[in-house]
């Protein structure tokens, strides 16, 4: 991996990284839980290498979007395309037809996710957590997977914790392992779901710095839900403001954070940013 050329605290989004092809495409997406419609007629695209942050009040459906991409929630309407291929359903003669499990799995292996609650496997060591999927899902040789795992642990500053059990680690350390575990799969798309919300304030910075470095040094597409507006501003190419399951407005972070068009965005930002 190339070394970061800029200070980790302020990587300017580099627009050259993105190419025109949409890597994630939402078409008329609808998500309902029973009678409760969370998302409706949602259309947006994320380009390859693009880093998009979803902001908005809680309950606005941001996390649901990530969970739909990770196939953790059932898509109740519309289509999601990954690299142009349907993730859950395809359109056939005007009807929604579910894609096969095999096809879905093939697409899903290109997507990684880091969760708010880390979700490391407590019955495995740190190293086992990281190599499980590369070895048993991607079929990589164990030796190679272990070497890569040690490499990644070095990057997240936990070289000495390979044989530790997750429960012996602090929250911040667990989340760093979770990041390494997701990156071990070489995902094209990385979903970050409020990854610092469960952390003590003093360790939020170290986790965000690691993610800044990942953003700078790789071309991975990121879909981010966060309350850390500073981080969002630093790493995102695009910020999408959500409310009530709709995109209120979207644009580059400089625009959204300093000069939003919509009243709803202004009031949300002043609420979360306080006096800033």
Partner 1 sequence: MSTLSTAAVLAQEVDEPTIIDDSGPIFDWGFAVDILPDMLMAFLQVTLVVTLVGTLIAAVLGLVIAILIMVLPGPLAWIVRWAANFIRMTPIVVQLIFLFWTFLWMDPMTIGIIVFGVHYATYMSEVYRAGIESVPKGQWEATTALSMSAMRTWRRVVIPQALRSTVPSLGNYAISMFKDTPFLFVISVAEMVTVAQTIGAQTFRYNEPITIAGLIFLAASYPTAVLINRLEKRLAYAH
**Triad 55, 59, 61: Cα angle to 5°:** 65
Residues 42-81 that bind partner 1 (CB under 8 A): 70-72
> Would you tell me how many other CB atoms lie within 10 Å of the CB of residue 10?
11
User: Does residue 133 interact with partner 1 by CB under 8 A?
Assistant: yes
Q: Which helix (H) or strand (E) holds 172?
A: helix 171-183
Cβ-based nearer residue to partner 1, 183 or 241: 183
Q: Is 176 in the site for partner 1 (CB under 8 A)?
A: no
Contact assessment for residue 161 and residue 154, using Cβ atoms and an 8 Å cutoff: no
Task: Select the residue interacting with partner 1 from 45, 76, 109, 209 (CB under 8 A).
Answer: 109
Does the protein bind partner 1 through residue 161 (CB under 8 A)? Answer: no
Q: Tell which one of 15, 19, 43, 123 touches partner 1 (CB under 8 A).
A: 123
Contact pick of 38, 146, 185, 207 for partner 1 (by CB under 8 A): 185
User: Least distance in Å: CB of 98 to partner 1?
Assistant: 16
Which one of the spans 38-46, 143-151, 178-186, 230-238 is the region binding partner 1 (CB under 8 A)? 178-186
CB of residue 41 to partner 1, shortest distance in Å: 26
Q: Does 186 bind partner 1 (CB under 8 A)?
A: no
| Count of residues of this chain found to bind partner 1 when the rule CB under 8 A is applied | 27
By the rule CB under 8 A, 164 interacts with partner 1? no
Q: How far is the CB of 133 from partner 1 (least distance, A)?
A: 4
Q: At 21, list the tokens.
A: 């092809």
Separation CA 222–CA 48 (nearest Å): 9
Counts for the chain of helices (H) and strands (E), in that order: 9, 12
What's the CA gap between 242 and 52, in Å, rounded? 12
Residue 145 sits at φ, ψ, to 5 deg, of -65, -40
* 117 near partner 1, judged by CB under 8 A: yes
Cβ count near 203 (within 10 Å): 16
Antiparallel, parallel or unpaired: β 221-225 and 89-92: unpaired
Task: Specify the DSSP class assigned to residue 34.
Answer: T
Does residue 122 bind partner 1 (CB under 8 A)? yes
User: Under the rule (CB under 8 A), what is the footprint of partner 1?
Assistant: 70-72, 105, 108-109, 111-113, 115, 117, 119-124, 132-133, 136-137, 165-167, 181-182, 185
């Amino acid at each position: 991996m190339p070394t970061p050329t800029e200070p980790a605290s302020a990587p300017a989004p580099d627009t050259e990284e993105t190419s025109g092809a949409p890597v994630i495409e939402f078409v008329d997406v609808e998500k309902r839980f029973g009678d409760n419609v969370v998302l409706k007629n949602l259309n947006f695209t994320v380009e390859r290498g693009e880093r998009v942050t979803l902001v908005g009040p809680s309950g606005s459906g941001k996390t649901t979007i990530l969970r739909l991409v990770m196939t953790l929630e059932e898509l109740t309407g519309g289509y999601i395309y990954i690299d142009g291929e349907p993730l859950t359903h395809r359109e056939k003669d005007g009807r929604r037809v579910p894609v096969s499990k095999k096809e879905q799995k093939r697409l899903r292996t290109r997507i990684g996710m880091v969760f708010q609650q880390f979700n490391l496997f407590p019955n495995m060591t740190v190293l086992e957590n990281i190599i499980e999927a590369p070895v048993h899902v991607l079929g990589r040789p164990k030796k190679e997977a272990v070497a890569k795992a040690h490499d990644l642990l070095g990057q997240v500053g936990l070289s000495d914790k390979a044989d530790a059990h997750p429960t012996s680690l602090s929250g911040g350390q667990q989340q760093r392992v979770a990041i390494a575990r997701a990156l071990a799969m070489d995902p094209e798309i990385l979903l970050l779901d409020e990854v610092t919300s469960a952390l003590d304030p003093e360790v939020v910075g170290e986790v965000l710095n690691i993610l800044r470095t990942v953003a700078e040094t790789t071309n991975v597409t990121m879909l981010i839900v966060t309350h850390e507006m500073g981080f969002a501003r630093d790493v995102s190419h695009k910020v999408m403001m959500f409310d009530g399951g709709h995109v209120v407005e979207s644009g580059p972070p400089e625009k959204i954070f300093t000069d939003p068009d919509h009243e709803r965005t202004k009031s949300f930002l002043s609420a979360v940013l306080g006096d800033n």
